[in-house]
Chain A
């Protein structure tokens, strides 16, 4: 099973019935000229990239956006429409009211599979005490957290909040909490590799493509900035395929992953098994017991 762990459905037609909201999403994400995507088109894209499942991210930075960009309910709607193609991660803003109740509702009622946090846009450091209750709730529900890390192209996003070293205390304090530093925390990829090496509860994904083609950039990051042996030998169980689509296109990223020179078994882990482990799902689709 090939899973894209990091997809943003902001421009899926089924949740863009309001033109004002669509325009807001273009402006907030700083993604333009891309149009809306029908679920049929999404399915065609997945087929071209040989992707079986995608994990869709909600987006709640309401303390600064003044509105929820993609709600947990919209993610649930897409999951229901997606004929088992989609899983979903909830989003809550730690600076808003009732975030804990919203998260509990997303886990218990909407049955979402994890939580996504955007520290660069929600303006908090991951090791701050004020988010401890969020981590504890995720542990209670056995849900992983996707931290959107590294360079964030969105307006007013601040990179200082997502330096990988901020996650070390979290990994130590909450060893049963599975967390993902997205995009290998680019440009701090060696710092991220250091954390993955020491802490088995930290994962990362491949959702980064800020220079060159996917083939060239993946080769630079995953075979040179991080020697290919580091992932292929030591980190192979903690790296997942993620695209950050629609910022980046999946088809060429998926192909680039297969051409890095890793062992076939490593590529298979990155494509699917590691995401299943992160999500706490066995290969048969059952929720695993941790």
Chain B
């Protein structure tokens, strides 16, 4: 199995980054021709999803999630965390992460990721800005 990572320094509180090209570079570097590609975020207030890379869709997704998981709701997570020594302010990030999920898979055939024309991989930031890491593994089959 080949494992590599993508580092991101996000700039906004909520944002979407298309990381398809970075994943393809890692696949190429692995020299594995056939297998399964897994993309997984290391964080609990971010997500990985596959969708079409259109500004309008990104906006719709962001507004849909913000209406569903409202910043002004009451959350039990909003409290001082002794093991952090700081106050948790990011319950909405955790819940959005839960809804979208933390990973995706692709099939790899003859060195090419098999995906539809409209499919791109999105890294979703729900508690930025922050320094983030996405793990990519290629398992040879």
Query: Complex: how many Å from CA A148 to CA B53?
Result: 48
Cross-interface CB contact of B9 among A38, A47, A246, A248, cutoff 8 Å = A38
Report B25-52 CB contacts with A as 1/0, cut-off 8 Å.
0000000000000000000000000000
Q: Is A101 an interface residue (CB 8 A)?
A: no
Nearest chain B CB to A18's CB is how many angstroms away? 20
Q: Contacts of A35 on B, CB cut-off 8 Å?
A: 131
Count of inter-chain pairs, beta carbons less than 8 A: 63
Nearest chain B CB to A47's CB is how many angstroms away? 7
Nearest chain B CB to A16's CB is how many angstroms away? 14
Query: Complex: how many Å from CA A38 to CA B86?
Result: 20
Cross-interface CB contact of A44 among B11, B74, B75, B85, cutoff 8 Å = B11
Report B3-37 CB contacts with A as 1/0, cut-off 8 Å.
00000011111000000000000000000000000
CB-based contact A47/B85 at 8 Å? no
Report A234-276 CB contacts with B as 1/0, cut-off 8 Å.
0000000000001111011000000000000000000000000
Q: Which of B61-69, B76-84, B104-112 contacts A (4 or more CB under 8 A)?
A: B76-84
Q: Is A96 an interface residue (CB 8 A)?
A: no
CB-based contact B75/A213 at 8 Å? yes
Cross-interface CB contact of A47 among B11, B74, B78, B80, cutoff 8 Å = B11
CB-based contact B85/A32 at 8 Å? yes
Which residue, of B9, B12, B129, has the highest number of chain A Cβ atoms within 10 A? B129
Q: Contacts of B71 on A, CB cut-off 8 Å?
A: 215
CB-based contact B129/A249 at 8 Å? no
Report A174-217 CB contacts with B as 1/0, cut-off 8 Å.
00000000000000000000000000000000000111111110
CB-based contact B131/A41 at 8 Å? yes
Q: Is B101 an interface residue (CB 8 A)?
A: no
Report A139-170 CB contacts with B as 1/0, cut-off 8 Å.
00000000000000100000000000000000
Cross-interface CB contact of A48 among B13, B74, B86, cutoff 8 Å = B13
Query: Complex: how many Å from CA A33 to CA B86?
Result: 10
Query: Complex: how many Å from CA A89 to CA B129?
Result: 26
Residue of B nearest to A46 (CB): B129
CB-based contact A33/B84 at 8 Å? yes
Q: Is B87 an interface residue (CB 8 A)?
A: yes
CB-based contact B72/A215 at 8 Å? yes
Nearest chain B CB to A248's CB is how many angstroms away? 6
Q: Contacts of A246 on B, CB cut-off 8 Å?
A: 86
CB-based contact A33/B83 at 8 Å? yes
Nearest chain B CB to A44's CB is how many angstroms away? 4
Q: Contacts of B89 on A, CB cut-off 8 Å?
A: 209, 213-214, 248-249, 252
CB-based contact B85/A31 at 8 Å? yes
Query: Complex: how many Å from CA A78 to CA B83?
Result: 28
Residue of A nearest to B74 (CB): A216
Residue of A nearest to B80 (CB): A210
Q: Contacts of A31 on B, CB cut-off 8 Å?
A: 84-86
CB-based contact A248/B84 at 8 Å? no
Q: Is A45 an interface residue (CB 8 A)?
A: yes
CB-based contact A48/B84 at 8 Å? no
Cross-interface CB contact of A40 among B9, B83, B84, cutoff 8 Å = B9
Q: Is A68 an interface residue (CB 8 A)?
A: no
CB-based contact B86/A44 at 8 Å? no
Cross-interface CB contact of A248 among B72, B75, B86, B130, cutoff 8 Å = B86
Interface residues of A in 20-52 (CB under 8 A from B): 29-35, 38, 40-41, 44-45, 47-48
Query: Complex: how many Å from CA A31 to CA B129?
Result: 19
With contacts A30-B85, A40-B9, A213-B75 known, what are 14 further pairs, Cβ within 8 A? Answer: A31-B85, A32-B84, A33-B83, A33-B84, A38-B131, A48-B13, A210-B80, A210-B87, A211-B80, A212-B79, A213-B78, A216-B74, A246-B86, A247-B85
Binding site for B on A (CB under 8 A): 29-35, 38, 40-41, 44-45, 47-48, 153, 209-216, 246-249, 251-252
